Structure formats: structure tokens, C-alpha cells
Amino acid sequence: MSSSRPLVCVFLKLPPSHRSILRIHKIAWNVFLPQLIRLNNAFEATQGKHASPEAKKIWLDMRRISAEKMDKLESVAFMNHSTAFGFLKFLDALHTGRDGSEAYNNFRGDSYRVFNEAGQAQDVLLKFREDIRVAVGRITTILSKDNNETSSFVTESSQSLLELATGIEECNAILEEHREEVKEVQRQGFDEKDNRPSEEEFQMVREKWQAFMEISEPPVYAWEALRREMGGRDDKGNPNLAPFNHTMPTTPTDSNSSKSHKIPSWRRFFRGISSWC
């Protein structure tokens, strides 16, 4: 007769919460972008009366830089995906009795990169807020010198900055929670003298990590679309973005090969380990 007691993982670590990046992605779309649009509308209203090329340049530069800062949030999601892939390879080696030392070291390296990326993302978000505040201040000064009516712009920008600050504070709190969860994952041991995990523990942990890997896949999110929307368009109607030169790979890499896995290969890998029972 099967026991109704919950399974407790003694040896294997569970992944961080899959909701962290989903929540940050939602805040970026539902807070950061709408507030930039709100600021843009207020700015364009002042330009309709007395256009200032200098103020326009500051505004476009700020939007472009703000959009580029979203790359750091995307990189956290990508490193989550890479860490999950590495953990599953380690788990596969452990389950089949193969030498898992290399897979373990790769997983550990990726987990440290997640921790660092999340910390850098916190700093980037604070800089994002400060860049907007400084740009708004410079634009207000320019408009005032040109005898433009700035009260509406000042009111709208003050309210938007407050909303942005609240969203950034929430994002940074989520990132801090994520870092603490990653630190717990980093405590995953690898000692061949340890007692072998039960089959039930293997199965449950594998399912948790595979779900975490899948929710971290790049196609799940719309970071590039967010980047385009936040950047807006320049005076010629072109996307107001720097040339995109993403250096992160789009698929996990195998440490035994200098080439990246093609997507079908690593999907076949996950289908293979899903046959455990």
C-alpha cells in the first residue's frame, strides 16, 4: 500500500521558483512600458507647441538606453535555462551510474552565473530609473528656458517616475529572492559515498527541473518585442535601437563539444531522460 506522506528530497536540490522571471517579465510589460509611453505622450505634447531638437535627442537616447537595459533581465532567464539543462545532465549521469563530475561542475558554474546575473540585473534596474529621472530633469530645464509650459510634463513625469520606482523595487525584491533560491541550489552536493537517492526522488526532482527548464526557454518570453516597444521610433520612423548583437547562445552547449547543440538534439536528450521510471 502506497504511503500518503509527501516525498522529502534528502540529497537532490529542487530548482528555484519558476514564477520569478514570469513576474519580472509581467512587470516589465505592465509597468515599465506603459510608464515610458505615458512619459512619451507628455513629452510629445510639449513638442507640439515648441519643438526642441536638443530635448528630442535626450528623449530618444533615454528610450534607446532604457530598452537595452532589458537585455540584462533576459540574460537571467537564459542562465536559468542553461542551469536547468546542466542539472538535468548531472542528474542523468547520477541516475545511470556514469561519472557525473564534469556535468556537476558545469551545472555549478552556470548556477554561479545566474546568481551574478541576477545581482547585475538589480543594479541595471536602479540605473534604468536614474537614467529616466536625469533625462526628465534635463528636458524640463531645456523646456523652461524656451519658455514652454512644463507643468503638465512635470506632473506626468513625477507620477510616472513614482510608478517606475515601485515596479523596480518589486523586481529587485523578486531578483533577491531568486538569488537566495539559487544559493540553495548551489549547495547541491556530489559525493559518490553518499547514499543513492531513491527512484521516487530522482523522478520528482527530474520533473521539477524539466518544468523549470521549459519555463525558462527563450521562446516563452517576448523580450525582443518589449525592447522594440520601449525604444520607440526615431524621427525617420525607424526603430530607435542600437544594432542588436546578442552574444548569448540560443541553445545549451555540450561541454564535450565545441559546437552548440542543435535544438532537435537537446530536445531528444530531454525526451530520453523522461523515460526514467
Query: What is the number of H-type helices and E-type strands within the chain?
Result: 8, 0
- Which range of 140-154, 163-177, 182-196 scores highest in mean pLDDT? It is 163-177
Per-residue model confidence (pLDDT) at position 200? 87
* Alpha carbons 107 and 101: distance in angstroms, whole number: 10
Per-residue model confidence (pLDDT) at position 190? 66
Res. 120 pLDDT band, cuts 50 70 90: very high
Per-residue model confidence (pLDDT) at position 117? 96
Q: Find the mean pLDDT for residues 229-252.
A: 68
Q: Find the mean pLDDT for residues 77-95.
A: 92
Measured in degrees and rounded to the nearest 5, phi and psi for residue 258 equal -85, -5
pLDDT at 181 over 80: yes
Per-residue model confidence (pLDDT) at position 245? 47
* Alpha carbons 68 and 230: distance in angstroms, whole number: 9
What percentage of residues in the chain have a pLDDT greater than 70? Answer: 80
Measured in degrees and rounded to the nearest 5, phi and psi for residue 18 equal -75, -10
Burial environment of residue 199 by CB neighbours within 10 A (0 to 12, 13 to 18, 19 or more):
exposed
Contact 107, 87 (CB under 8 A): yes
| Least confident stretch, 113-117, 172-176, 183-187, 191-195 | 191-195
Q: Find the mean pLDDT for residues 207-213.
A: 94
* Alpha carbons 98 and 45: distance in angstroms, whole number: 66
Res. 272 pLDDT band, cuts 50 70 90: very low
Res. 12 pLDDT band, cuts 50 70 90: confident
More confident position, 232 or 174: 174
Angle (deg, nearest 10), helices 101-145 and 151-185: 170
